Structure 1
């Protein structure tokens, strides 16, 4: 129990530009995804799926992002396009968590979407336990239908997050955390 609490207290997000190889691969990546899938899932709907970007596939995905960014922003400089291209090339492994929430007679869409968010967070915690670091991000292209089609998403699917995974290249610093008194109340008090 103490080890789990220590892990949860120490987990930090690491920006993708500070993540390098190695990242989870092979059986370890399979295990990480299996752990991430062990989240609350009312009705056992599995309202999410994974797309893994690694190796050359990151460059292919980055080219899609750069192309669409240039189409949407014809005035953009080459540096701006290059910056957008790099978003999916920093970390050695990126997992897109795809929300495939669908109308259901008993399970609200909101619950299904929350389950996809739980997948992202569980993946980050499991990666930390395996000795890696990560970051859960979206960025503009998570909401661009042309990019999403190129990445293989159906029209009714959305990105819950891109989870960037790897080994930190710099010390991980903490950020300011909320003051508990500001965010905790007791009902009826």
Structure 2
């Protein structure tokens, strides 16, 4: 997920400085990663950390919540290219990207702190889900539906349940295991799940 993608919905204005935008996003992530919750986070603190004026931030984002959405989305890479040759191969590619991302201590820390406030900021996290999570879910759902259609997977497979099994397992490993050091984890997760849902 690029900052340009995350900012696409914002109205056009004066030309933006990519350097300033990157500094603002990085400052937001740094402050959250250091333990500052969303409720404590302020535009003043972000501006001071980024070395910009508050007006520079408000030219790009109308409020703190929109800036946090952009910053969190910047932690997520785009959906990886999928070969489309097999369900297994595509699922391994997607799960391995999740494993790699979750292996970054900063990313884990930021997401843990941010998600702890998801109930207090449902609108913010709905926007984050639409921007950064739903494209990945749609891609994985398409892979599973293709597998159902071509006979690689059981005809009565519930794609939502399968996605929860796959994603939930890698999240569990990154939270409680050593996923970042386990290059074969994605293959093992996918193979274990497929052994229960393949014909």
- Whether TM-score is above 0.5 comes out as no
Shorter-chain TM-score tier: under 0.3
TM-score, normalised via structure 2 length = 0.25
The structure with the greater share of residues assigned to helix is 2
Which structure: larger Rg?
A: 2
The structure with the greater share of residues assigned to strand is 1
